[in-house]
Amino acid sequence: MEKTFAIIKPNAFADGNSGKILSRIYEEGFTVVGLKKLYLSQVEAEGFYYVHKDRPFFGELTEFMSSGPCIVMVLEAENAILKWRDLMGATNPAEAAEGTLRREFGASLGENATHGSDAPETASFEIGYFFSGLELL
């Protein structure tokens, strides 16, 4: 079993799509190991996305991620990292396949509804950024 880190981003939360996204998560066979609602500050969003700090969209991204509440989660499944990225679809909702979460709930490249870790090392950092061991029992 593998764990990955996921976010229901502020646009999806504000649009009232958290329930639908959680339904898909359960239907696809993930176990929700951790879950909480947070309203990130920009500094907290910057710490989370530090790998992108030199990218031109860093300001836009961290401003958006701190623009309203989101839901952070730890999901468990076999090959959870790849499985969750497949369910999310491509980064740009316009290029995401039919039936994926970003296609269905994403508004734009920036406001693309969900986040998912891209590798075991990033999953480990991202889970630890938001959850303590006691919250994942």
Which one, 82 or 109, has the nearer CB to ligand ADP?
Answer: 109
Which one, 68 or 135, has the nearer CB to ligand ADP?
Answer: 68
Positions touching ligand ADP (CB under 6 A) are: 57, 60-61, 91, 109-110, 112, 115, 118
Select from ligand ADP, Mg ion, none the partner in contact with residue 33, using the beta carbon and a kind-dependent cut-off of 5 to 8 Å: none
Q: What's the closest the beta carbon of residue 89 comes to ligand ADP, in angstroms?
A: 9
| Exposed / middle / buried, residue 18 (Cβ in 10 Å: 0-12, 13-18, 19+) | middle
Helix (H, G, I), strand (E, B) or coil at 91: coil
Closest CA to 75 of 38, 126, 9: 126
Which one, 83 or 115, has the nearer CB to ligand ADP?
Answer: 115
Q: What's the closest the beta carbon of residue 136 comes to Mg ion, in angstroms?
A: 22
Cα–Cα distance between 41 and 119 in angstroms, integer?
A: 25
User: Residue type at 125?
Assistant: F
**Of 115, 117, 126, 130, which one is the catalytic site residue?**
115
Q: Closest residue to Mg ion, Cβ-based?
A: 118
Select from Mg ion, ligand ADP, none the partner in contact with residue 2, using the beta carbon and a kind-dependent cut-off of 5 to 8 Å: none
Q: What's the closest the beta carbon of residue 78 comes to ligand ADP, in angstroms?
A: 21
Strand order from edge to edge, sheet including 70-77: 31-38, 70-77, 2-8, 114-116
Tell how far CA 129 is from the center of its chain: 13
Which one, 60 or 135, has the nearer CB to ligand ADP?
Answer: 60
Helix (H, G, I), strand (E, B) or coil at 8: strand
